[in-house]
Amino acid sequence: MNRAPLLISSRNPKKIKEIKTLLSPYFEVSDLSQYPDFPEVEETKNTFSGNAGLKAIEISRHFHGYVIADDSGLCVKVLNNKPGVYSARYAGKDATDKENNAKLLEDLSFFKDTRPWFASFNCCIVLAQGGEKVAEFNGVVEGKITHQEFGEGGFGYDPLFIPKGHKQTFAELSPEKKNKMSHRANALSQFVQWCENNL
Ligand code: IMP
């Protein structure tokens, strides 16, 4: 497969880094930091698929080539799958990762008797071109939430999430290990497989 140009419709540097690591062997990858004039797309839908679609389709109207967008988040069972699509802004608009993690632990403090707190990270990747959705890929990783933050790596809720079958959080595991099992890695490997069959 030739390294075709691919734009990631995101301005989140840590998310971009993970996606680039996984896709650079296959694509000439760029991201929105290289296109400051492209519009800011608001996430107004209530599903990962809906928001990933908005971000990919709108930006693909401005870019000559393929565009992918990732919408992802954490779903905690005892919180009725919250924060879900609101993961980035759980503690409020422009909340930091620290603030979101603190709010999650505060909300979970009411459920001390119902541990383990089962959770999953979910990721939807939408591929678009010329204002049209081309395909969609969904990845999930199951695990549980810890009672305090552990580790410095990764981003978002990584210091609180222990993937099933492991004893350390995503923030304690190496980026290589996270990138082998994460929700994003899972969705992106389906995307790469799809490209090998269709492009
Ligand atoms: P999005 O930019 O609307 O997709 O927001 C995704 C949010 O979900 C991030 O800001 C994080 O809070 C959370 N999230 C998504 N993927 C991960 C991950 O791999 N690790 C930790 N948190 C994540």
What residues form DSSP beta bridges with 141? 121
Q: Which of 61, 85, 58 is nearest to 73 (CA)?
A: 85
Q: What residues are paired with 140 via a beta bridge? A: 122
Q: Coil, strand or helix: which one is 24?
A: coil
> How high is the pLDDT of residue 108?
98
Ligand 1 center to 72 CA (angstroms) = 5
Residues 59-117: tens digit of each pLDDT: 999 999 999 999 999 999 999 999 999 999 999 999 999 999 999 999 999 999 999 99
pTM, entire model: 0.96
pLDDT at site 121: 98
Domain ranges of the chain: 4-198
101 C-beta closer than 6 A to ligand 1: no
54 C-alpha vs ligand 1 centroid, how far in Å?
17
CA of 164 to the centre of ligand 1 (A): 18
Strand, helix or coil for residue 92: coil
Please name the residue whose Cα sits nearest to atom 5 of ligand 1.
88
**Nearest protein Cα to ligand 1, atom 11:** 156
Cα–Cα distance measured from residue 135 to residue 117, given in angstroms and rounded to the nearest whole number: 33
Q: Would the pLDDT of 1 be above 60? A: no
- Which of 171, 179, 128 lies closest to 152 in space, CA to CA? 171
Measured CA to CA in angstroms, residue 163 lies from 24, 99, 132, 145, 180 at distances of 25, 22, 35, 9, 12
CATH topology of domain 4-198: Maf protein (3.90.950)
Name the band, by pLDDT with cuts 50, 70 and 90, for residue 57.
very high
Does residue 141 carry a pLDDT above 60? yes
Structural contact between residues 72 and 48, judged by C-beta atoms closer than 8 angstroms:
yes
pLDDT digits (tens, 9 = 90+) for 32-51: 999 999 999 999 999 999 99
CB of 143 shorter than 6 A to ligand 1: no
